[in-house]
Amino acid sequence: MYIRGTKSRLTYKKYISSIMKNVLVIGSTGQIGSELTMTLRKQITNGNVVAGYIPGAEPKGELLESGPAAIANVCDAKQLAEIVDKYEIDTIYNLAALLSAVAESKPLLAWDIQMNGLINILEIAREKKCAVFTPSSIGSFGPNTPRDNTPQDTIQRPKTMYGVTKVATELLSDYYFTKYGVDTRAVRFPGLISNVTLPGGGTTDYAVEIYYAAVKGEDFACPIQAGTFMDMMYMPDALKAAIDIMNADPSRLIHRNAFNVASMSFDPEIIKAAIQKYIPDFKMHYEFDPVRQAIADSWPNKMDDSCARNEWDWKPSYDLDSMTVDMIETLCKRFGKAE
């Protein structure tokens, strides 16, 4: 088997010391990228973590000052190859994507970024021997998928362009591993809740926006109907998943693209009650968005992540209550509100 991070075949013992030295994060200024780049920079002390961005979404502040940055447009293969050569990149985090709701309004652009961008990255990874992480999502499932305890290996017939590109991403990433030995690995992310960079255009974004509204003392207009359950995860656990899967012992991996990872599942009423425990005056009403609701209705209620737990010891740290405490504390400090 090809072992990543090197130009040769190595034993696992040697491999473990060579992983993730020089990393390119494509989409470094997005919701995941902005936190993943900083986390990797703190963890990797003997290499570079390059913040890849597109014009108009330049890194700022600590993200800009703490390491190298480069324009990295997934649709420009030559530009990507130059960065990989210049920084001797061994691992690429490919986070360029349009999220589910916005991808429905721009399906061709979503295809271009998610599929043409991906094949550029996989080809570079094949030539230059890089490992690649391209996240999949709960959006890779569809209305025919079992809703509860959604298995790792099951029906994936999504009805959205986002979902179509996520299933194709999983398949193409596995193809490059099987056919060429490119070390592709990934997880299927749930809705991600975070407090550094806002998501944009996703179906699960409401679960982030609700905390901002609660802390600012606003009445939250929820776009998703009561009773709609979706998997969600706090960003620190998502970062752990993204890093741990790339550091996992490859000899234990039965699956690769992509693992179900889960930590909590709730509907709008449950998250509202979790917030009201700490902000009793918080108010929410429903102004449902038919596009997002239809997408949410086609996604699982709760995934079974036992394969991730068995194959690379995945275990989340946060539940709804501990996440709520941390979100409220962080946002209260940010907005100068008393907790």
Q: How far apart are CA 96 and CA 104, in angstroms?
A: 16
Which residues is 136 bridged to in the sheet?
Answer: 188
Q: Could you identify the residue written with the tokens 């360029």?
A: 96
What character string, x for contact with ligand AKB (CB under 6 A) and - otherwise, covers 31-60? ------------------------------
Nearest approach, Cβ of residue 277 and ligand AKB (Å): 25
Q: Which of 94, 150, 194, 204 binds ligand AKB (CB under 6 A)?
A: 204
Tell me the three state secondary structure of residue 95: coil
Nearest to 241 by CA among 186, 182, 165: 186
What character string, x for contact with ligand AKB (CB under 6 A) and - otherwise, covers 128-167? ---------xxx----------------------x-----
Phi, psi of 53 (to 5 degrees): -145, 170
Q: Which of 15, 162, 176, 318 is labelled catalytic?
A: 162
Q: How far apart are CA 32 and CA 163, in angstroms?
A: 19
Nearest approach, Cβ of residue 147 and ligand AKB (Å): 15
Q: What angle do CA 314, 99, 139 make, to 5 degrees?
A: 55
Residue 2, classified by CB atoms within 10 Å of its CB into exposed (0-12), middle (13-18) or buried (19+), is middle
Taking contact as CB under 6 A, which single stretch among the options 38-46, 64-72, 179-187, 189-197 is the one that binds ligand AKB?
189-197
Nearest approach, Cβ of residue 199 and ligand AKB (Å): 6
Which residues is 285 bridged to in the sheet?
Answer: 221
Task: Give the nearer residue to ligand AKB in terms of CB position, either 48 or 136.
Answer: 136
What character string, x for contact with ligand AKB (CB under 6 A) and - otherwise, covers 77-116? ----------------------xx----------------
Q: Catalytic annotation on 162?
A: yes
Q: How far apart are CA 71 and CA 52, in angstroms?
A: 6
Q: How far apart are CA 171 and CA 135, in angstroms?
A: 12
Taking contact as CB under 6 A, which single stretch among the options 6-14, 174-182, 200-208, 309-317 is the one that binds ligand AKB?
200-208
Ranked by CB distance to ligand AKB, the top (closest) residue is 202
Tell me the three state secondary structure of residue 177: helix
Task: Give the nearer residue to ligand AKB in terms of CB position, either 137 or 173.
Answer: 137
> Does residue number 203 form part of the binding site for ligand AKB (CB under 6 A)?
yes
Half-sphere exposure for 264 (CA within 13 Å, toward CB):
24
> Does residue number 191 form part of the binding site for ligand AKB (CB under 6 A)?
yes
Antiparallel, parallel or unpaired: β 264-266 and 230-234: antiparallel
Task: Give the nearer residue to ligand AKB in terms of CB position, either 118 or 138.
Answer: 138
Report the interface residues with ligand AKB, using CB under 6 A.
99-100, 137-139, 162, 189, 191-192, 202-204
Tell me which residues are annotated as active site: 162
